[in-house]
A and B are shown apart, each in its own frame.
Chain A
Amino acid sequence: MRTYKEHMSRLSTIEKLEILADAAKYDASCASSGTAKRNSLGGPKGRGGIGSTEGMGICHAYAPDGRCISLLKVLLTNHCVFDCHYCVNRKSSNVRRARFTPQEVADLTLAFYRRNYIEGLFLSSGIVRNSDHTMEQLVEAARILREEHDFRGYIHLKTIPEADPEIIHRAGLYADRVSINVELPTEAGLTRLAPDKKASTIEGAMGGMKLAIAEARDAKKRFRYTPGFAPAGQSTQMIVGADAARDTDIIGKASALYNRFRLRRVYYSAFSPIPDASAVLPLKRPPLMREHRLYQSDWLMRFYGFAPGEVQQAAEADGMLPLDIDPKLAWALRFRENFPVDVNRAPREMLLRVPGLGTKAVKAMLAARRYRTLRLDDVAKLTVSVAKLRPFIVTADWRPTLLTDRADLRGLVAPRQEQLELFAP
């Protein structure tokens, strides 16, 4: 009889990579930005480290799904003792399983990094044996890279909230970013779909991480040689469309997470029909556009000065954001009394509310209007489509008169209906 171990060692590295990268693709994040700047200059030849981070993340390739490939994103193993229904790696799922050793992950990361394929590693894992053991293994892969190879590239470790806080803390010492997935926007959803997880445990771990990051920042100011702790902060991911949560619930949850745990990012992952899906899940996946609209609402809160309540007001009566128009346009159409905005006089906050004006265009307008009075032509040069803007702005030579009050305005400014998901099931 072939033991399990023999079977595993018979899988070649390439077969394991195939299984464990495939299993990791449902994690949306691939960011490699916003960490401390480092490089591998200095030190005697052959003995120094490898790698650098320069603030901006780099996407080393793009897959035909349009997603950036910046990191080697793999699971240490896709074996799992948990049985979360939305997860392809759940215990009861009938998928091929494989397992890397921490050393194998470190070697693979270095082989890819030296050839300039990646910015670093994003390591996650199914739960094998127990949470502590799994977390130890994740940390070990990061330790090999950092301590044995002096790797100075990017490391993102997925943290298992049920693990011992001491081990989670070690993850922060090696990783640029740590993340703990809240998984589902509502506690009811979590109870139903992830029976082994608890919202209180997840939030407890996030809170602990927030404290540790803040303490390390603070210590860095006072002591020169403080070990860094997750310099790129922490992030999380929510699955959209697997439970009954409405967009307003999700926006509220995201906003609460940003505030309570100082998250860098909340990622939204449209529930994607996974092979061997559980019968508890909806058969139909949510439109990808929903995920997109949620990201847009996230942007409104983070960069456009919208309060969570205001973004929620952009939703329809059923609590869902409109799919055919973006949330900013939806908000503008609902609160027309705020428009038109005079681009030569309005403050930055108001310009940012104009549908079709991005942060860059607003900045350019504020700079340009100090030297000249802006005309419609000038605005056109700074934006993508002035036609969409016209009902909402006043320039030296343009005033929308009745346009802003027209009942069919939505039809005039909304993008033409496209067949968005031609190839979607």
Chain B
Amino acid sequence: MTAMQDIAPRSFYCVQLPASDDFDLWRERARALVQCDVPPDRVVWIEPGATGDLFGGGEFGGRERRLPVPGDDARPVRASRAFLRLAKNAALHSDPQRFALLYRLLWHLQTNTRLLEDRTDPDVRRLEELDKAVRRDSHKMHAFVRFRRVEHSDEEEAGEHYVAWFEPEHHILRANAGFFVRRFAQMNWSILTPQGSLHWDGESLAEGPPAQRGDAPSGDPAEDLWRTYYASIFNPARLKIGAMLKEMPKKYWKNMPEAALIPELVAGAQACEAGMVERGAMQEEERPETLEAIDRAIHACQRCLIGALDNRAVMGEGPQHASLMIVGEQPGDQEDRQGRPFVGPAGQLLDVHLQRAGIERERAYVTNAVKHFKYVMRGKRRLHQSPAAKEIDTCRWWLEGERELVKPRMMLALGASAARGLLGKTVSISKARGTPHRLDDGSELWITAHPSYLLRLEGEAREAQERLFEADLAAVARRLAELEA
């Protein structure tokens, strides 16, 4: 008796697969069906949860539940290693037609052994597409699974456990267990998915039922660090959203803690660019021609990010045509509250020294290189932060406006920021102090330390610096007297 005699002509066969990723069973059944000469259009492959009962009656009335059994003399089934490798992976795809496709290919491979090399055949191409999609999904699983740490306090399971929730597109969970076992062999971990779950306790792998998102922990303190890293490593000067989306499609975002930042980062980068364009346009503007107009304008200024903080602009003050202009770094907390320059602790120290040197503050124009208070919040306190060189350079626009209107014959820069605001480059205070620097408009610039620097020092160091500061102010006073004489 040959196998053929066992087969009822025009019968349909239906193969139920117990699991969606059960390639081995498909292989076994497919081999028998090929040996019994059952052509592809006579086999239906049904996976769990699929619409198996749809074919219960009617159309496939002649369907055989019992599968044919090949005889002992049935010829062996031929399948290249390359086909098996591709088929095994493609079988994990979520396409309900995949097992039928694999059977069709296996069927044709019996007569055309080199079928796979013909990439222009539609079935071969489909096989490669499925394989590629599954490989991609597996690769993305390796990449995008995010573990969250759970501390176990109960006696049996002391120690830490890492749990991830992941939603793969295809039936790839079991096939990728090995990757995580090899990588995290010494950790206790679980990967929960809607298709099932995996649990590794450092020694053996266990499978569990399908899970829900709520079964996984909702956060991990390390995620703040990770988000900080993600935001910091991003270069806003080169936005390429398409490239990101291609490799990290939105469907994965919901389970990745860092993805929540993306809209904000993109918007920030675009605003930054728009700001640069706008700033470029603003530089072309006419500068206000009175001190009052500058005062109004700086209140609305957002050319740098300091202007966007919760603070107010502090305008310089003093006689319109003072011979001496004193420039500080930026308003501090007190100056910001009162809206006047040099009224905080550093301002008070400056007043003492000015008096000692015989310089009347009321006769000088006192202002800052940067018009807004730059700070960071530490609890409820606003902590001073030095302005960046770029911010000083941006704010130079206003300082130059003040210089043009006041036309002082002498300038005194307090600290490196002020010096940069006037010179356009960073200089070392210790090297630049004690001698006048000639500015473009013919005025004379003297540079000394910022009084807040003195406030930060203690003991001998402070005394030494105060002596230098006093000497600088005394020199300024002498020179001022000469100029005014």
* CB of B461 within 8 Å of the partner chain: yes
> With A48-B185, A62-B243, A368-B120 given, is the CB distance from A116 to B248 under 8 Å?
no
Nearest chain A residue, comparing its CB with the CB of B238: A65
A21 touches B456 (CB 8 A): no
A52 touches B239 (CB 8 A): no
CB distance from A123 to the nearest CB of B (A): 14
CB distance from A360 to the nearest CB of B (A): 10
Q: Within the complex, which residue of A63, A72, A114, A276 is in contact with B388, where a contact is CB–CB below 8 Å? A: A276
A116 touches B164 (CB 8 A): yes
> With A1-B458, A45-B202 given, is the CB distance from A40 to B235 under 8 Å?
no
* CB of A223 within 8 Å of the partner chain: no
* CB of B346 within 8 Å of the partner chain: no
Measured between beta carbons, the chain A residues less than 8 angstroms from B229 are 17, 21, 72, 74, 112
Measured between beta carbons, the chain A residues less than 8 angstroms from B247 are 59, 62, 68
Measured in the bound complex, the distance between the Cα atoms of B226 and A96 in whole Å is: 20
- For B272-310 the 0/1 string (1 means CB < 8 A from A) is 010011000000000000000000000000000000000
A1 touches B461 (CB 8 A): yes
- For B163-201 the 0/1 string (1 means CB < 8 A from A) is 010000000000000010111111100000000000000
CB distance from B100 to the nearest CB of A (A): 22
B390 touches A372 (CB 8 A): no
* CB of A4 within 8 Å of the partner chain: no
B223-269 residues at the A interface, CB under 8 angstroms: 224-226, 228-244, 247-248, 256, 258, 262, 265-266, 269
* CB of A370 within 8 Å of the partner chain: yes
A381 touches B125 (CB 8 A): yes
Interface of A is mostly: loop
* CB of B73 within 8 Å of the partner chain: no
Measured between beta carbons, the chain B residues less than 8 angstroms from A279 are 425
* CB of A303 within 8 Å of the partner chain: no
* CB of B355 within 8 Å of the partner chain: no
B119 touches A115 (CB 8 A): no
Measured between beta carbons, the chain B residues less than 8 angstroms from A56 are 139
Measured in the bound complex, the distance between the Cα atoms of B181 and A74 in whole Å is: 28
Q: Within the complex, which residue of A40, A58, A69, A276 is in contact with B230, where a contact is CB–CB below 8 Å? A: A69
* CB of B108 within 8 Å of the partner chain: no
CB distance from B454 to the nearest CB of A (A): 11
Chain B interface extent, by class: 35 or more
Measured in the bound complex, the distance between the Cα atoms of B388 and A66 in whole Å is: 28
Measured between beta carbons, the chain B residues less than 8 angstroms from A42 are 185
* CB of A41 within 8 Å of the partner chain: yes
Measured between beta carbons, the chain B residues less than 8 angstroms from A21 are 228-229, 232-233
B186 touches A25 (CB 8 A): no
Measured between beta carbons, the chain A residues less than 8 angstroms from B232 are 17-19, 21-22, 25
Measured in the bound complex, the distance between the Cα atoms of B132 and A369 in whole Å is: 23
Q: Give the tally of cross-chain contacts (CB within 8 A).
A: 199
> With A17-B225, A46-B186 given, is the CB distance from A64 to B119 under 8 Å?
no
CB distance from B317 to the nearest CB of A (A): 27
* CB of B389 within 8 Å of the partner chain: yes
* CB of B146 within 8 Å of the partner chain: yes
B230 touches A114 (CB 8 A): no
> With A39-B182, A45-B186, A425-B237 given, is the CB distance from A63 to B230 under 8 Å?
yes
Measured in the bound complex, the distance between the Cα atoms of B230 and A49 in whole Å is: 26
Q: Within the complex, which residue of A68, A275, A368 is in contact with B390, where a contact is CB–CB below 8 Å? A: A275
B233 touches A60 (CB 8 A): no
Measured in the bound complex, the distance between the Cα atoms of B91 and A12 in whole Å is: 49
Measured in the bound complex, the distance between the Cα atoms of B229 and A19 in whole Å is: 9
* CB of A108 within 8 Å of the partner chain: yes
- For A78-111 the 0/1 string (1 means CB < 8 A from B) is 0000000000000011110000000000001001
Measured in the bound complex, the distance between the Cα atoms of B258 and A373 in whole Å is: 51
* CB of B142 within 8 Å of the partner chain: yes
- For A360-385 the 0/1 string (1 means CB < 8 A from B) is 00001001101110000110011000
A280-297 residues at the B interface, CB under 8 angstroms: 285, 288
A364 touches B146 (CB 8 A): no
A28-69 residues at the B interface, CB under 8 angstroms: 39-43, 45-52, 54, 56, 58-69
> With A46-B186, A52-B182 given, is the CB distance from A14 to B224 under 8 Å?
yes
Measured in the bound complex, the distance between the Cα atoms of B224 and A19 in whole Å is: 15
Measured between beta carbons, the chain B residues less than 8 angstroms from A270 are 238
B185 touches A1 (CB 8 A): no
- For B414-425 the 0/1 string (1 means CB < 8 A from A) is 000000000001
Measured between beta carbons, the chain A residues less than 8 angstroms from B8 are none
Nearest chain A residue, comparing its CB with the CB of B114: A371
A64 touches B426 (CB 8 A): no
> With A25-B235, A272-B238, A276-B389 given, is the CB distance from A63 to B147 under 8 Å?
no
Q: List 19 A-B contacts (CB under 8 A).
A: A1-B458, A14-B224, A21-B232, A40-B183, A40-B186, A58-B139, A61-B144, A61-B258, A64-B239, A64-B241, A65-B240, A94-B388, A111-B222, A111-B225, A115-B148, A272-B235, A272-B238, A276-B389, A424-B237
With A64-B262, A425-B273 given, can you name 10 additional A-B contacts, CB distance below 8 Å? A1-B458, A45-B202, A46-B186, A60-B144, A66-B243, A115-B220, A276-B390, A364-B119, A371-B117, A378-B120
Hey, which bits of chain B sit against chain A, CB under 8 A?
A: 114, 117-120, 125, 139, 142-149, 162, 164, 179, 181-187, 202-203, 220, 222, 224-226, 228-244, 247-248, 256, 258, 262, 265-266, 269-270, 273, 276-277, 386, 388-390, 425-426, 456-458, 461
